Each structure stands twice: as structure tokens, then as C-alpha cells.
A and B are shown apart, each in its own frame.
Chain A
Amino acid sequence: MVHGESGGGTLLEISNLHAGIEDKQILRGIDLSIEPGEIHAIMGRNGSGKTTAANIIMGHPDFEVESGRVMLSGEDLLELETWERAREGVFLSFQYPQAVPGLQVGNFLRKSVASIRGEESAKGADFRNELNEAMDALGIPRSFLSRYVNDGFSGGEKKRFEILQMLLLKPRLAILDETDSGLDIDGIKTVAAGVNAAIRGGESAALIITHYSRILEHVKPDKVHVLIDGRIVASGGPELATELENNGYDWIEERGEAEGVA
């Protein structure tokens, strides 16, 4: 595996991040660094703070950062508005994508590509070809373009649509929040192929948030982090996901306590 570990090239650098919602602290000191071309996974139970981490990186207004830093290629993300982060190349595949009745998928994709990659990238035959290719890769029919964004979509359609946006928006950092939940095995394979094609070996990176190891069998992550109670209690290679699958989170908690981490 090629890691771009050449000092200043770190893509995402999270240090000592404490954050929460209203008065409730959820993240209690997260450190994480991701190099270009890498795929990381964060695993954890429901309520461990996984989605909070994703929302903080993207800038959801309901979450508050108490302390710590989130840097993208040396730039302070926490200083930027959500749309500015998106234009800097941060992408979030939502756990619960929102419906916007009346907003056509095709129109929305074109506008999003225009605002993130520039007006020129959203024009003409090149864009149409790119769009068709991405839809074919994900098995999405053309009729999808005239539907309304996430309006009446099945769970699987929503997740495929998120990945379609990822492919078209070409992010530097793609965060996939529970993209595998609600997908059957074919769906997971399709999504994994999409992530591999977009990230592997390039300048981009991905952070996959999940509580199952299934998707990780198809996207071999470079690193796996285990999040419990707002802290990363273990980090390792892909084998960590397999161990978790076999032994459950209790095993990590016990191990963590033994090592005095948790």
C-alpha cells in the first residue's frame, strides 16, 4: 500500500477535538490524520459519536466545537461555512439524505457540479458523458434524472444517489456516514467499487463510518479506528475490523480498559 506520508502532505488532520450538541459533550478528544490516497474507517456502536464527527467536519450548525482543530491540507476547516468546505473538496454521504420535493435530480447535480467544480465542468457533452458513465457504473437508470431529490426514494436509491454525487463532485475528502446501512450486498459492492475507483491511489481520501465490517471487506481500509464513547480507543489495519466482527465491541472495551485507554 502506498502511503503519502511525506510530512506536509497530510490531507485531514483532526487534533484533540472536543465537540457536542447543546450542553452534551459527545466527542471527547479525537485525533486522526489521513494522507492522500488513503481510506480510513471509523467503527463504533450507535451513539458512540461517529455521525457527530461527520457532521462536525462538514459544519452542521447544530453541533458545537469546544476545542481542537480540523485541518484540510493545512487549512482550518472550522473557520469555513459548510458550502465553503464543500467547495474546498469535503463531501459527506449522508446517513439520512434529505428530500427536496420539486428539485429535479438532473438539475441539482448540474448546479452542484457548477458550484463545486466550476461552471465549465457542468456544461455540454463532457458533463453529460461523465454523468451517464457514473450512472451506469452505479446501475442508476436515466429516468432518475427527472425525479425529485430523495423524494420517495427507497433506502437503496438514496444511498446510490449519494455515491453518484460523490463521483460527480470529485471530493478531496469523502466521508461516508453509514452508507452501507440499508443496502443489500450488491448495493454494497457497487458502492465499494465507486469508492475504490474515486479514492484508491489518487490525491483524494475517504473516511468510512460504519458499524458493520461488511463494506470493509470490499473497500480494504488502510486504517480502522474504533470509536467508543467519543474517543478513539483502538486503531489498526483492516484486521481490526475482522477482529471486531468476530469478538464484538465488548472485547475492545475490555482490552481498552486493560491498557488504560478508556
Chain B
Amino acid sequence: MPANQDAMEAVGDYKSGWHDPENSTIRFDFGLSEEVVREISALKGEPEWMTDIRIKAYRHFIERPMPTWGNTPMLHEIDFDSICYYLRSSKATEKDWDEVPDDIRNTFDRLGIPEAEQKWLSGVTAQYESEAVYHSIREDLEKQGVIFLDMDSGLREHPEIVKEWFCSVVPLTDNKFAALNTAVWSGGSFIYVPKGVHVEMPVQAYFRINAKNMGQFERTLIIADEGSSIHYVEGCTAPTYSTDSLHSAVVELIALPGAHIRYSTVQNWSANVYNLVTKRGIAHENSKIEWVDGNIGSKLTMKYPSVILKGEGSHAEVISVAYSGEGQHQDAGAKIHHLASNTTSKILSKSISKNGGRGSYRGLVKVSPKAENCKLNVVCDALILDEGSRSDTYPTMEVANPTARCEHEASVSKVSDNQLFYLMSRGHSEEEALAMIVNGFFEPFTRELPMEYAVELNQLMALEMEGSIG
């Protein structure tokens, strides 16, 4: 099995953990102040209304206390003064990989991005530290009026659209980290899909942190106009350092009537990255929003992709997996608000904990009093691989309309010796057998991913199972 042989060779390695020398063109001092926020905005030559939003958000960030849930001891370890809030390594966002500086280009080559772009993507944006270094979209889509830009270019070229929707789904006062992102955001994607246009192949964003003690704050806004559809995939990695970095993104999705947005993530940050992300979508009549969310890496992830089902007949799905290894805590889940009648939602959450890792499912499904005939289905499965690892479930359902049909299932399981023995009797080593069980457990998630991503995720999990047999 080539995947497993690769795994053997890379024992215990986080395979994206290398780093390149830092060749920054602009680097801000560590720490955050109103001055830093103004400088970021000035550097980008932004309209005044955006600077104002940033400043308001900064003030809210300062006043807002830390969340009192998730993992508060870990949250309080974050030293906001030792983070670099803006770092630019390349002068411009290029449309041709050959124009991207060599060292950065090499990084993305090693991550396989240009190759994937040629094979199966409609467009790619590659962000390195604070700025997009490469950006491209297929010509035919551009001709159909699809806008796919990095967020900074989006603001420059389409300020009226950005102004209309920015912060409309995630207000700057939503939570402490959304406020931080709004104050210092840089990069991310801006997408507008015109009425009735179906973007057949996925568009991809890839986020790479290279520098130490870096803060990456990308901001993504996707608007799918009536009857259109798009599938957006994102991946992320960082070098392994002994000090922490912070990734705090905000993603806003707007699915107008009849539109369909699918947003897939495979998060594989190194184990020194805090991943504190706010992802939310608003679904109008008969539209559909799906979050497919994989959390493999990071030190602490707190992320609960959410959907506000605002229009009648709209549908939300959140399919997520989380893997927590040594020293990791994945606090992930989903939030759905059924505001309108005949809306449906489905949450499937799967978590694996190993080597003392901790996985939590935190979910909230709300049905408002006026929403008739809603259907909701929540399934949470946890697989615990050894003693000392931990899994918790915090499911909340607030159903204020009696016509709602709710289903909820939860399970916690362990890998049995008999299961391993059965697979080993078919010629598979103990580690291969464990990887088969683990990949099988994640299968309902991986089958939702584009094939290339699914293969990568399976290989990643085979790697994680290395050395796990005592």
C-alpha cells in the first residue's frame, strides 16, 4: 500500500511542517494598537468606511472578554502582544505562477497547488502570510460574470458589493475573534456568482502561514445570486514552531433564493496554531448551504460553522470531522437557526481522539416560534482510540415550534481488539488496520470531498496512526 509505505517513512512527521526563510517586504512590529489597525488600512488604500469599521471592531475586540467556554485555559495563553498582525512577503498578487517569488512558488509546489489547479479546479487563490500571492480564475467563468478575487482586490474593484454585504452575516460585535478579524483582516476570497450560473468545478483557496508568531486574518465573502451554485474548497498548513501562531478568519456566505453554496475545508495547521474561526451563512428561500469541515491540525480549534435559514424551504448541512492528537483540542460543531417554515437541516459530526487529545462537539439548533414544519437531524459519533483521550458532546436544541421534527443520535465507541484482529488476519499490520477503521469512521465525511482531497485526508490519517500502537 503506497499510502501506508509513505506513512512508514515519515514516522511521526507533520508533513507540511517545514518553513522557508522569511523574506518579508513589509513587516509590522509585534502587538496590536489602534495605530496598527489604521496603518493596515492606510497601506491598503482603503475607503474611509472600511477604516471606520476596522476601528470600531478593534475597540470592540479590546472591550470584549474572552469566551468562557471551549478551552479557556488555552485561550488565556494567547499573547496578543507577541503576534505579528501584518506581514507581506510578495509585492503583488500574480496571475501567473512564474511571477510569484521563487521561494513562495516552491512552497505551493510542494503543497501541490499548481498541479491541482490544472487538473480539477475552476480557480485558485493562494495566500502566504497576510496577502494573496497568486490568483487566477478560468476565463469562461470570468466571461459569465463570475467574480473571484482576493478580498483586498474585491474591495478595490467592487466596493459597492462589499459595502452591501460585509459584516451583514457576521456583525463585528459577534464575538471577540470576529471583532479581531474585522479590525485587522487581510486577504481571503471575494466571490460573486451571477444569477443562474453554475460553477461546475470547485474553486480553491490555500492558506499558508510561514513566519513565526504570525497572525493570519483572512476574510471571505461569497455571494451566490439567485439559482446559482458554487463549491469552494480551502486548505491550510503552517510550519511547526515552538511558539504559537494565530489564525482567526471570518467567512460570510449569502445564498440568495434557489442558490447552492458548498464550502469544504480541510484544516491541517501545525500543532502550534490557534484556529479560532467564525463561519456563517444566510440561506434565502429554497437555497442550500453546506459546510463540509475537516479539522485535523492546530493546537486549539474553536469553530462552529453556522447557517441562518432565513427563507422558506431552505436547507442547511454541516458535516464535520475532527481529529485530536497529543496536546490538541478540537472544539467544533455547528449552529443552525430555523427562522422560516419548511426549512430542513442536517448535522453530522464525527470526532476521533488519540494520545490524550480532546474532541468536543458543541452544537446549537434553534427553531423559532414562527417556523412551521421544520425538520432537523443531528448525529454525533465519537471514536476514542486510547485511555486518557477525551470526547465530550454539548448538543443544544431549542425548539419553540411544536410542529418541528427533531432527530438526535449520539454514540461513543472504541476500537475493539476483535476488529483489529479481523483486519490483521487479512494481512494488514496493526497500524494499517487502525488506519482502515479510522478512515472508515471518517468515510461519511470523505465521500463528500472532491476525490483528490479525500485521498489526501486518508493519507493524513494513516500518518496520524503511525506510532500509535503501544
Contact = CB atoms under 8 A, between A and B. Distances in A.
Interface of A: 58-62, 81-83, 85-87, 91-92, 94, 96-103, 108, 111-112, 114-116, 148-149, 165, 169
B229 to A, nearest CB: 27
14 contacts: A58-B421, A58-B425, A61-B417, A81-B424, A82-B421, A87-B427, A99-B419, A100-B423, A100-B436, A101-B440, A101-B441, A103-B443, A111-B1, A112-B427
A152 B134 CA distance: 48
Given A87-B427, A112-B426, A165-B426, A102 B441 contact: yes
A94 B424 contact: no
A98 B416 contact: yes
A92 B416 CA distance: 18
Interface string B357-380: 000000000000000000000000
Nearest to A98: B422
A211 B50 CA distance: 80
Contacts of A92: 425
Interface residues of B, number: 25
Given A60-B421, A61-B417, A149-B440, 11 more contacts: A82-B421, A82-B424, A83-B424, A91-B425, A100-B419, A101-B440, A102-B439, A102-B442, A102-B443, A112-B428, A114-B1
A169 B425 CA distance: 11
B416 A86 contact: no
A98 B1 contact: no
A102 B415 CA distance: 14
B422 A97 contact: yes
B426 A115 contact: yes
Q: Which of B416, B417, B426, B443 has the most CB of A within 10 A?
A: B426
B427 A116 contact: yes
A85 B427 CA distance: 8
Contacts of B442: 102
B426 A86 contact: yes
Interface in B427-465: 427-430, 432-433, 436-437, 439-444
B450 to A, nearest CB: 18
Contacts of A115: 1, 426-428, 432
B118 interface: no
Nearest to A114: B1
B418 interface: yes
Nearest to B444: A102
B169 to A, nearest CB: 34
Contacts of B440: 100-103, 148-149
Contacts of A60: 421
Q: Which of B418, B424, B429 has the most CB of A within 10 A?
A: B424
Contact of A83 (B429, B441, B444): B429
B410 to A, nearest CB: 16
Contacts of A101: 440-441, 443
A81 B268 CA distance: 34
Contacts of B428: 83, 111-112, 115
B177 to A, nearest CB: 33
Contacts of B430: 81, 83
Nearest to A85: B425
Contact of A86 (B418, B425, B441, B444): B425
Interface in B402-422: 416-419, 421-422
B436 A103 contact: yes
B132 to A, nearest CB: 36
Contacts of B426: 86, 108, 112, 115-116, 165, 169
A207 to B, nearest CB: 14
A86 B423 CA distance: 10
A116 B436 CA distance: 16
Nearest to A61: B417
Contacts of A87: 427
Nearest to B436: A103
Given A83-B429, A86-B427, A102-B442, A62 B422 contact: no
B437 A100 contact: yes
A144 B424 CA distance: 22
A108 B436 contact: yes
Contacts of A86: 424-427
